[in-house]
């Protein structure tokens, strides 16, 4: 027993060590090359992991069943209460981005750590998770040449790098768990379901039958409410965003070039919440369904939050020497470690999912964020409220199939479509994004005796954001993710040591 616990404890320590080291390194990583990441806090990372990525990112209503495979859904912390095995999720991302305007095209590639997360089932009604995921990414380099009257040719150069990371600890509980058991032990239940010979002086046989039906209805209602879950994620957001801009006068010998650079550093706590519920329909109007239908719904919410931040600002004029070096002429602004706040917006989402038997799963999400309230050090960027709509589907031919010849029947096939109305509006043109996705979940061994299961989730997405109209930039992207999910039973005393 001692050796068993030592091994599991070492695994937890190693996992936490990996999280800390990735957090240290990941602070300097940039996983985007989009010029639109210049606005706000950059391109936001999608919620959920590889399982939902191939289903257009649907996650709000998604929860685990009572049997493996189990997955981690950080997008709705209420889902943690449905875990039955210790679960580890690790993901890697790849992106190819093509930028196009009315005159030119360019292509960039990037790869990054997608997420790393561990979840534990503490009780049948309580689960928790810790992990590290990127919250947003900034990475762009844009140039613009203009001809200005009485000035001449002017080059404007804009660059940005960095992003925000999210280290989180979440909990999900079922606050009404145990209601059915409490009811079956109650005096009322015993009175309604008494098997004693009916006393026809007080009740007719029909009344006794009605009491049995009443007890059954109450039990089903309490069992349904037992499935209600609530949860929260307590996150520590940290990272830095560096933005710089240059104004260069290539044809002038009298005007000095200028450079302005800012570094915003975010370090503060952030909370988001979730709720989920599910119920099963096994008959309609007395007709028993061939396959049960499970209906799941969920909601997520985060209040508007003012997060502590610091900013460094530097602005100066300069000229280039004959050897190509920058020679500073005059420093206009130079301030360090100025305290301030960055306002994160209120957000809300609602999701609905249907699962038919063990084969079909359909999920839909609708989410909004109030980015019009965004401020950074008391300055706004004219952002608009954003909206996301997504629809995903999953199909597995036969989850219980055995044998190598039937492996393809156990594979999970996924697809989805989504539409995003982003928070950015430039030159009176809203920036919209749409994409289609597909992927598979590949089971890797399973041991029902030891409760050990693994799966490799692969997802790809094709999409577009922006337009070449009004002098804007159109992005066409291909994204891929590969996730590794491992389920195991931890902290259980073995019968033999």
For 87-100, the pLDDT digits (tens) are 999 999 999 999 99
Residues 169-224 pLDDT 10s? 999 999 999 888 888 888 887 877 775 555 555 666 777 778 788 888 888 888 88
Question: Tell me, what's the pLDDT at 94?
Answer: 93
Look at residue 17 and tell me whether its pLDDT is greater than 60.
no
- Residue 80: name the closest of 125, 38, 110 by CA: 125
Chain mean position to CA 324? 46
**């800390």: which residue's tokens?**
20
Position 492 confidence tier, pLDDT thresholds 50, 70, 90: low
**């950059």: which residue's tokens?**
42
- In the chain, domain spans: 2-174+227-312+339-488
Phi, psi of 332 (to 5 degrees): -90, -45
Residues 302-334 pLDDT 10s? 999 999 999 999 999 988 877 777 888 888 899
Look at residue 13 and tell me whether its pLDDT is greater than 80.
no
Give the global pTM: 0.86
CB 215 within 8 A of CB 189: yes
Residues 362-384: what's their mean pLDDT? 93
Question: Tell me, what's the pLDDT at 3?
Answer: 47
Residues 249-306 pLDDT 10s? 887 767 788 999 999 999 999 999 999 999 988 877 778 788 889 999 999 999 999 9
Q: Is 107 exposed, middle or buried (0-12, 13-18, 19+ CB in 10 A)?
A: exposed
**């409760």: which residue's tokens?**
451
The first and second tokens of residue 289, run together, are: 């369904």
Q: What's domain 2-174+227-312+339-488's architecture?
A: Beta Barrel (2.40)
């Amino acid at each position: 027993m001692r050796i068993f616990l030592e091994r599991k404890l070492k695994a937890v320590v190693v996992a936490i060590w990996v999280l800390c080291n990735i957090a240290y390194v990941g602070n300097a990583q940039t996983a985007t090359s989009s010029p639109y990441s210049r606005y706000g806090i950059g391109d936001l990372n999608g919620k959920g992991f590889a399982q939902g990525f191939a289903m257009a990112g649907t996650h709000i209503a998604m929860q685990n069943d009572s049997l493996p495979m189990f997955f981690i859904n950080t997008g709705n912390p209420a889902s943690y209460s449905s875990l039955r095995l210790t679960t580890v999720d690790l993901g890697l991302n790849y992106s190819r981005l093509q930028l196009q305007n009315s005159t030119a095209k360019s292509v960039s590639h990037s790869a990054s750590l997608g997420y790393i997360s561990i979840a534990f089932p503490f009780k049948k009604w309580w689960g928790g998770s810790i992990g590290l995921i990127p919250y947003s990414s900034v990475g762009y380099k844009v140039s613009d040449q203009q001809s200005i009257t009485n000035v001449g040719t002017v080059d404007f150069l804009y660059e940005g790098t960095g992003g925000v990371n999210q280290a989180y600890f979440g909990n999900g509980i079922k606050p009404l768990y145990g209601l059915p058991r409490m009811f079956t032990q109650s005096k009322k239940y015993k009175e309604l379901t008494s098997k004693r010979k009916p006393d026809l002086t007080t009740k007719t046989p029909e009344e006794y039958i009605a009491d049995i039906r009443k007890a059954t209805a109450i039990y089903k209602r309490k069992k349904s409410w037992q499935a209600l879950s609530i949860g929260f994620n307590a996150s520590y957001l940290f990272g830095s965003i560096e933005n710089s801009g240059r104004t260069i006068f290539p044809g002038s010998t009298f005007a000095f070039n200028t450079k302005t650079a800012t570094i915003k550093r975010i370090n503060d706590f952030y909370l988001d919440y979730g709720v989920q519920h599910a119920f099963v329909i096994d008959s309609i109007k007395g007709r028993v369904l061939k396959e049960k239908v499970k209906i799941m719904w969920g909601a997520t919410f985060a209040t508007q939050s003012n997060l502590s931040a610091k900013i460094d600002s530097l602005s100066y004029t300069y000229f280039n020497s004959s050897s190509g070096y920058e020679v500073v002429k005059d420093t206009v602004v130079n301030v360090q470690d100025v305290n301030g706040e960055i306002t994160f917006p209120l957000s809300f989402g609602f999701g609905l999912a249907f699962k038919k038997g063990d084969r079909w799963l359909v999920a839909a999400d609708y989410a909004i964020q109030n980015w019009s309230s965004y401020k950074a050090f008391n300055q706004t960027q004219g952002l608009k409220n954003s909206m996301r709509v997504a629809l995903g589907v999953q199909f597995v031919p036969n989850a219980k199939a055995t044998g190598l010849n039937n492996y393809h029947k156990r594979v999970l096939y996924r697809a989805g479509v989504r539409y995003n109305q982003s928070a950015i509006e430039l030159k009176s043109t809203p920036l919209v994004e749409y994409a289609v996705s597909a992927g598979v979940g590949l089971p890797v061994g399973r041991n029902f005796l030891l409760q050990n299961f693994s799966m490799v989730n692969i997802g790809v997405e094709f999409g577009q954001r922006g337009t070449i109209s009004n002098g804007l930039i159109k992005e066409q992207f291909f994204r891929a993710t590969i996730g590794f999910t491992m389920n195991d039973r931890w902290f259980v005393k073995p019968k033999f040591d």
